[in-house]
Amino acid sequence: MASAAEQLASNLNFSAFAKAEDLKKRIWFTIGALLVYRLGTYIPLPGINPDAFAQAFSSQSKGVLGMFNMFAGGAVQRMAIFALGIMPYISASIIMQLMTSVIPSLEALKKEGEQGRKVINQYTRYGTVLLALVQAYGISVGLEGGNGIVSDPGMFFRISTVVTLVGGTMFLMWLGEQITARGIGNGISLIIFSGIVAGLPHAISGTLELGRTGALSTGLILAIIVLAIVVIALIVFFERAQRRLLIQYPKRQVGNRMFQGDTSHLPLKLNTAGVIPPIFASSLLLLPATVAGFSQTTNMPAWASTILAALGHGQPLYMAFYAAMIAFFAFFYTAIVFNPKDTADQLKKHSGFIPGYRPGERTADYIDYVLTRITVVGAIYLVLVCLLPEFLISATGVPFYLGGTSLLIVVSVTLDTVAQIQGHLIAHQYEGLIKKSKLRGGKKAR
């Protein structure tokens, strides 16, 4: 079966794509949904002075707002109806994953299969609404505190802002679910992906303009391009890397027949945590700078100013904390999403075992040992990918648009979407082969 699938995958071509009508409909639906999202990032909130807000945003563009603006496709910079983006849903999903490992009732729901997953998803939606309400109200109060940003401050402005921003987030959550069900790829990931990629043309044109004016040398621009290609290839390699543990199943007897034991593999991803560690680490590190920027810096103590300066982009203390927090969250989140004991219990339940290790506790200890070792490599990989742009900006002053987190998201989503397209094409070719075989069987019967 595996060789047949590989042969079909190698034979995929444009003619097979042209015949896959369902796949084309899914792709067009995905493109249309993403266009709706991009249009929403240009519709501003009512009652906002765009020029005054743009001036206030420019002073905070290097804090958390700058990172959120990149994930939201520029909606924060324009204070559009999608300014909150999909981040409240991402935060609620992460919180629910953490809670399922510490709250027994939620852990029991997780083990109930599809029905339990639906209940957890509903809780995640409720959490999204709660987080969006808090963030939207905070944004409305912050906008009113700006100089000339809000034309008519008051309770009506706050209510309209909260309703608009929360409605925008809930619409994006629904749109992402529709893309997942009726389109191609994971809808939530594709929304974040399109927001990041939307800023690439401006970043590339800005870099070329610096080269034209002589601010950047041609050799340095070429070196940046080569470095970006190398980093993307590195991400592709490590995101697809796995440690496969051999699983054996004993011989079994059904009636009077004896069946040979089967073998399979337990794949352990090198980077189980994905992009969560860089997101958490960068958010926590940029938060103090953002809070200080909104506060009255004239009354700030000298020690606080010194700490904020040391935690600035490109500073050694910032990079050291960034690397340490990425490594910590890589291990922490891996421990949350992958439980070796549950995996060992499932193997024991289905009579599977790892050769050389007893089922149960010994198997769980071995899986935990292997997972810890590969997570060390995965954490080092995440640290290198995320710190490379920081070193580049610090050493050369080059405005590197795609940081480590955004690069990871773009490459990971691209790989996942391409894999799903190939899966649809393979399924379409299998259906074609089955229909042909049935037609031939019918002709022979006649």
Position 13 scores a pLDDT of: 52
Q: How far is CA 416 from CA 21, 75, 168, 173, 342, in A?
A: 21, 25, 26, 19, 26
Provide the residue-wise pLDDT of the chain in tens; the chain has 446 residues: 444 444 444 444 556 666 677 788 888 999 999 999 999 998 888 888 887 887 777 766 665 667 677 777 788 888 888 988 888 888 888 888 888 877 888 778 877 777 888 888 888 999 999 989 988 888 888 888 777 788 888 888 899 999 999 999 999 999 999 998 888 888 888 898 888 888 888 777 877 787 788 777 788 778 878 888 888 888 889 888 888 888 887 766 555 665 566 788 888 888 888 888 888 887 777 666 655 555 544 456 666 667 666 666 667 788 888 889 899 989 988 888 888 888 888 888 877 888 888 888 888 899 999 999 999 999 999 998 888 877 776 666 665 556 677 888 888 888 888 888 887 777 766 665 565 565 565 555 55
Long-range pairs of 310-318 with CB within 8 A, sequence gap ≥ 24: 311/285, 313/62, 313/390, 313/393, 313/394, 314/390, 314/393, 314/394, 318/285, 318/390
Residue-level pLDDT at 6? 45
Backbone dihedral region for residue 342 (phi beyond 0: left; psi -120 to 50: alpha; all else: beta): alpha
Tokens describing residue 90:
């991402």
Q: What does the radius of gyration of the chain's CA atoms come to, in whole angstroms?
A: 26
Instruction: Tell me the per-residue pLDDT of 99-113, one tens digit each, with 9 for 90 and over.
Output: 887 788 877 887 777
Q: How buried is residue 62: exposed, middle or buried, by Cβ count under 10 Å (0-12/13-18/19+)?
A: middle
CA atoms within 13 Å, Cβ hemisphere of 388: 20
Helix-helix angle 187-198:87-100, to 10 degrees: 140
pLDDT for the residue numbered 172: 92
In degrees and rounded to multiples of 5, residue 68 shows phi and psi of -65, -35
pTM, two decimals, is: 0.78
374 contact partners, CB below 8 Å, separation of at least 6: 243, 268, 270
Q: What's at 342, amino acid-wise?
A: D
Which residues make Cβ contacts (< 8 Å) with residue 354, sequence separation at least 6? 245, 246, 247, 248, 266, 347, 363, 366, 367
The pLDDT of residue 297 is 46
Of residues 184, 173, 151, the one with CA closest to residue 46: 151
Half-sphere exposure of 265 (CA within 13 A, CB side): 7
**What does the pLDDT read at residue 116?**
82
CA dist., res. 80 & res. 198, Å (int):
15
Mean pLDDT of all residues belonging to the chain: 79
265 phi, psi to nearest 5 deg? -135, 145
Q: For the beta carbon of residue 414, count every other beta carbon within 10 angstroms.
A: 18
pLDDT tens sequence across 384-441:
888 887 777 666 666 555 667 788 888 888 888 888 888 777 776 666 556 556 556 5
Alpha carbon distance 240, 92 (integer Å)? 27
